[in-house]
Structure 1
Amino acid sequence: MKILRILRMAFNSLRLNRLRSILSTLGIIVGVASLILITSFGYGAQREILSSINKIGSDAIIITPGKVSDVRRAFSSIGSTVTKPITYYDLKFLKGQIPGVVATPSLTTARATVKVGANEITVTVSGVNEDFLVALGYDLALGRGFTSTDVNSFMNYAILGSKIANDLFGTEPPLGKSITLLNTKFYIIGVLAPQGNTMFGSVDRNVYIPITKLISLTNTNSLGAIYMKPPKGMSKDVLIALVTTLLKNRHGVENFTISDMEQFANLANTATSILTTALTLIGLIALIVGGIGIMNIMLATVAERTREIGIRKAVGANSMDILLQFLFESIVITVVGGMIGIVIGVLGAQLASRLSPTAITPNSIIVGFTVSVAVGVFFGVYPAVKASKLNPVEALRYE
């Protein structure tokens, strides 16, 4: 009962000094909301990357030119010397030697302009084959994918990413319509379902054409990578050994790197965990700053209420009663601020998801609320102890 009475007195004190209480609470609100919001970006990036990796499948492998020992360098020239590039003919050779294998190339232009009437948009153009939907785990919203006949016949066909289709045609069905790309007319045979941000960038803003057509238009045959899945009944390790032997014999040197999706998943987990930890620390710093603000205001409150403390002690309150009252005031401020901060942080993350992937986890909410209460206790102890140690005689004489 005594605890409830002290807690009620703490609430009454905060209610009587509303402006001071609101200012104290603001620091905690901003700190908790910031913690939830910024960590949602880290968890969102992790979810998107791992989702794109899972779409491809854990049994997939990626062949990149140049021999490197670190998967982080697989898509760059750092640490490798490409004496013999990987070409589309290497991909055709591997498909011919490994019946049933699923393999698609990565041949991409830097930027190109696609035109529909007077409407022009800058896009990324990727040359692919008939396996690219299965190999990369993409789904179609409309139309069909490429066939081997389309690829071998250098057909002027295109598949659009969802955002490009919307930007060019709006609500009109784009199938069968033409676009001008690389000074060539292409006919649309398919539109991808929204894919979001993947490990390959923003797929929704890409245009896909047969790789044979892209090679003929750009005179470029060197691939950035080959994405491959083993045929039914073959393990990933057997596929890696087989591809290594075939390409090494074909090139005369093992001047390529084979990575698997498990390596990329581990790398993505590590990178996003570091990012999320860094963002969490930034949010915690904001909370600590809010706690320092509470301590400063509570110290000022002790000075303002010195006479009140003296009167309470004179009528029978002991040092523990005074300590608990001021400590409860700090805790109430942080609990209320933490709850409001959680609501604002969650709403902010949901709004931010329209611009960038976000993910709100129970851990970020629990950590934010727990730390806010801990901040209230930690930074409220010193002012509470100082108030409890005031001499009642000197406090009553205080003006």
Structure 2
Amino acid sequence: MNLSSLSASSASSHPLASYGWDEGWEAEFAPYAEQGLLPGRVVRVDRGQCDVVTPVGTVRADTEFVVPRDPMKVVCTGDWVAVDPEGSDPRYVRTLLPRRTAFVRSTSSKRSEGQVLATNIDHVVICVSLAVDLDLGRIERFLALAMSGSGGEAPLHTSALSWESGAQPLVVLTKADLVPDAVTRAHLVQDVELSAPGVTVLTVSAVEGDGLDVLVGLVSGGTSVLLGQSGAGKSTLANALLGEDVMEVQAARDVDGKGRHTTTTRNLLALPGGGVLIDTPGLRGVGLWDAESGVGQVFSEIEELAERCRFHDCAHDAEPGCAVREAVESGELPHRRLESYRKLMRENQWIVAKTDARVRAELRREWKRRGAAGRAAMELKRGRR
């Protein structure tokens, strides 16, 4: 047996194998093993401390030694870490292992900061309730973030569909039992599929068990994170996948289908059929963060059309020979999709411009160009009069 086979065998029999430990993490951790530290995965973070599952069980550790200036590098649920061995009092997390992937959103802070919601994830499960009207724009926003994968520090995994983030996106339409008509459900799935090209879309009823077997098969390997608004049924779905009532559940309001924040922390749990699940609190705001590549993937048909535009820097507004605008006029491309694309691209550009002087300068030049074009058009109109 060669050394690589020995390493793979060692990783698969490791006490943390069910939490995602593999030969890659084993190699990353090797220098810390020589220092007598323990490997572990963060299953919950709470006020400067975290719960870490290690080969000797789940331990409570202080994060004081890894409080960086960069908010993107704070300890997060899903991180692999090196912690003090048994007998240490207090016990500290000594370092983070390089993240493979991360789901990041922008905060409401005026300092233009990112917030890491989950790390080292292989599947991003976006939960959308069928108990309320579909918000296709919000689904596109979640997908753009899921596909951007900001925050990765090591080479990212590649999924079957080669998403740039390395994390496979998946849209789960929950509470399917509340839409008993099969034709109506099929139309809703089609609407979402048109807004999520290349992404698997499932309808699931956690109450009746419909669709759960397919979902279990998709998330049984790797780490999955559940994302969505309050009332989307994430905790109910998590309990169904876990086979027991681990997460607290509250009924959504009858008036608008919205729910309360039953999950207040991000929790990492091993699934009985294999794989790991991270449940997250409901997200009211989902600000983009360095998501240009993700937006491009979500709106891949617009990016492909743009390649046929006469001008390479076409804004798809009033330029002659615009293939995107022609597709809208012919009905090939829904106008809603183009407006959503423009909105997300503008928002992402604005976020990037806050910290990138070059992008800010480009934005100013573009604003001046458009202003001059607008004034020229007005002058031309006055001249004709």
TM-score (norm 2): 0.25
Larger helix fraction of residues: 1
Structure 1 or 2, whichever has the larger Rg, is 1
TM-score (norm 1): 0.24
